[in-house]
Amino acid sequence: MFEVPRQVQSATVSSAAAPAAPPSQIDLLRILPALWRGRTTIFLTIAACLLLAALFVLVAPHRYTASTEILIDPADLHALANEPTPSTQASDTALLLIDSQVRVLSSDDVLRRVVESQQLARDPEFVRRPSLLHLFANRLLGALGHSSEPAADPSLVALSALRQHMRVTRAERTYVVDVAVTTEEPEKSARLANAIVAAYLAEQTAVRSDAARQVSNSLSGRLNELKEAVLTAEERVQQFKANHNIVDANGQLVNEQQLSDLNNQLATAHARTAAAKARLDEIEALQKSKLDIGAFPAAVQSQTITALRSQYAEIMRLEAQQTTSLGARHPAVIEVQAQADRLKHMIEDEVNRIALAARTEYSSAQASEDLLRRSVDTLKQNTLATDAAMVNLRELQRDVQASRAVYEAFLVRARETGAQEHLDTKNIQVISKADVPINRTWPPSNLILALGAIVLGIAAGSGLVMLREGGLVPPLPSQESRRRLSSAKREPALPADDLAPDLSLGVPVLAKVPAVDAAIDSEASQEPNARFAAGMRKVYETVCANHRKRGNPSILIVASHDDNDGAAVALTLAALAAAKQRVLLIDADLQRRTLSAIDADQGEAGLVDVATGRKVLSDVVVRDRATNINLIPFVSPKSRRDRVIEDGDLKAAFAQTQHFDVVIVAAMDANRDPAARFFAGLVDHIVVVTNAAEADDGGVEEIVSGLGLDARKVRGAVLTGEAA
């Protein structure tokens, strides 16, 4: 079931709870002459208001406001690499810091500095003297035996008054803080504003110095304790080294250095032994092979063997020569042979000496290698024991390093914070000092007061004139006008072009037409009564002439609940416009649904289905080919509501009708059908349809009053039921 928008429901309930009231309209044609006649009263009222404004300026105490601006950068100046408090970066946290500084600016510590420096405790503007009544009451209480109120401290009174006279604000999305002070003297306002900023800067410097001093004292108190911890840890390390015979030189343990040296010596000795063994094996192999006794490197390098081999070669040459010349048995040859044998034995003896020396050298190298190997094995055992002890030693050394690092950090930090006590690292800049204000803050400027007095005088004078003239609401139609309307209904109706607006009903009468059959259909709209069609043409031309907005005109046809001709009026207007334009006709009559009966076999949805998104407007609109009218019901019997329909949904759906040239909405009296009141806020023009007999009883006024503020869109009324 369709749920009517909330504002429409409330309008329906209120209209049903109270009887329809006649429309109250302001008649400018009566107001302007009345105001002109009472111009003297208005001028006198204006003069009186100006006089009151002048007296107010003279009597009211003047106030002057001076302001100064400071820039508080959350990132402090970096005087040292490390500071006791970390600097704040530009972020949301920085904005919170600036807001906190705004509170600091108005704190008691800062304001007490200003009270003392500016001697505000003696300023009568900040410390008011007690009134005579207050003094009399205290004396009376004292005479009666009651203790009087103790005198307030002037400094506290001045402090409270200064807080009321100042205002500290931060400009949005900036780090700029504005400090404004309002007093009765312009020089005092500027002086106090600058004094507040100076006191704030001094307070910030003192706070930072105290913080640095507190940190320095705390660090200094811990230095001796940390120093003792370092000494104790170092003594434990030295005692452990002595107990485990751990000695280091140049950052390396002595055992490791010795082991490294012995390993190198052992490798050298092993190489020397191998070389000696190789020479010995070579010599012994030559001795066993009986080859040339001098054919090895040691023999070649020996000068003795070289000389003996030279002599031996010479003897062998001489032997060969003499044997050839003298024969083998010659004594000289035998002597030469004997010399050769002696030389050969000498060479063999020399080779044996070389072999003995090689054997001795090999034995010595082997013995040296064995000694070095035993020493290396001993050092290895000592090194393994030392390595096992080094595990605990490293733990002790780490303890020493940690204690030393903490001690050194505390020592450096204590020195830095001690020096920072005398450094000012705050990054606060006064970007605009307070100057002596030229204009007062209160009362407002003379020009503003004069304009306000003039406006107030005009309003008050106009009100007095209107009260004297008897009010603004025009009277209701008199019995005489109603009698003339009743007699006019009994006369033959004039053509529509000859009808003139009738202001006796509160709205102009656009047309007076005869009644038509309520069972209207598309064929009846094709051949309307001539007088009816002429009247509807007059209505259509009047609406088009009053349309000043851009875009298509939208018209709401509102009929009284007893008038069945509203549908005929809407359908005839649509048929006239559809002859040359694209027309959309919306049936918003939720009770009778007369127009929707035309497309009962075709329409499956209404405008509410477009609002809920179930349908698009092009799928819902049904076009009558006979009259070229596009028809859509507000609510169809087949409409479904999946959710609550808001006013915005219906407005968005109605906005889709803008591609039509003309939009006509047919509805019933807004006092009984909430749809009419809702569409009255959407359309551009409203035409009221009522029976001529009901018009005599205030039918038009009843319909218009139900429209509320949208009654200004009413272009006129159509009276039906005229005699043919």
Q: Is residue 264 part of a domain?
A: yes
Task: State the pLDDT at residue 472.
Answer: 41
Is 627 part of any domain? yes
Structurally, the chain folds into a number of domains equal to: 4
pLDDT tens-digit map of 440-487: 888 888 899 999 999 999 999 888 888 876 544 344 334 443 443 344
Same structural domain, 460 and 499 = no
Domain containing 494 — which CATH number? 3.40.50.300
On whether both 540 and 613 belong to a single domain, the answer is yes
Q: Is residue 241 in some structural domain?
A: no
pLDDT per residue as tens digits for the range 20-41: 334 444 556 667 877 888 889 9
Residue 300 has pLDDT above 60, yes or no: no
Domain annotation covers residue 148: yes
Same domain assignment for residues 337 and 369? yes
Over range 370-398, report the average pLDDT. 78
| Residue in 330, 302, 286, 350 with CA at minimum distance from that of residue 338 | 330
Helix (H) or strand (E) holding 666: strand 662-668
Residue 474 lies in a domain: no
| Same domain, residue pair 447 and 508 | no
In a domain, 75, yes or no: yes
| 651 DSSP β-pair partners | none
In this structure, are residues 654 and 552 in contact, taking their beta carbons and an 8 Å threshold?
no
Reported as a pLDDT band with limits 50, 70 and 90, residue 44 is very high
Predicted confidence (pLDDT) at residue 575 exceeds the cutoff of 80: yes
C-beta contacts of 251-254 below 8 A and 24+ residues apart: 253/383, 253/386
Position 588 pLDDT exceeds 80? yes
In tens, the pLDDT along 652-684 reads 888 888 889 899 998 887 667 778 888 888 898
Strand 428-432 relative to strand 64-72, pairing: antiparallel
Radius of gyration, CA atoms only, the chain: 62
Residue 673 belongs to a domain: yes
Residues 109 and 77 in one domain: yes
Q: What is the pLDDT of residues 318-368, one digit of tens each?
A: 878 878 787 777 887 788 788 888 887 887 777 778 778 878 888 888 888
Q: Average pLDDT of the chain?
A: 76
Write the pLDDT tens digit of every residue in 486-541: 443 343 333 333 344 454 456 888 888 887 654 444 443 444 457 788 888 888 88
- Are 79 and 188 in the same domain? yes
Q: How far is it, in rounded angstroms, from Cα 184 to Cα 129?
A: 17
Provide the 3-class DSSP secondary structure of residue 697: coil
Whether 419 is covered by a domain: the verdict is no
User: Which of 203-212, 254-263, 590-599 holds the top average pLDDT?
Assistant: 203-212
Output the domain CATH number for residue 207: 3.30.1890
Per-residue model confidence (pLDDT) at position 114: 94
Q: Whole-angstrom Cα distance, residue 414 to residue 369?
A: 61
* Best-predicted range by mean pLDDT (71-85, 135-149, 625-639, 650-664): 650-664
Q: Which of 74-78, 167-171, 544-548 has the weakest average pLDDT?
A: 74-78
Question: Looking at the structure, do residues 298 and 323 belong to the same domain, yes or no?
Answer: yes
Do residues 273 and 138 both lie within one domain?
Answer: no
541 and 616 housed in the same domain: yes
Q: Are residues 488 and 625 in the same domain?
A: yes
Instruction: Tell me the percentage of the chain whose pLDDT exceeds 90.
Output: 14
Contact in structure between 642 and 557 (CB atoms under 8 Å): no
Say yes or no: 556 and 622 in one domain. yes
**Residue 109 lies in domain:** 64-215+427-432
462 and 516 share one domain: no
Confidence of residue 559 (pLDDT cuts 50, 70, 90): confident
Query: Stretch 138-148: mean pLDDT, rounded?
Result: 59
Tokens of 126: 């900040």
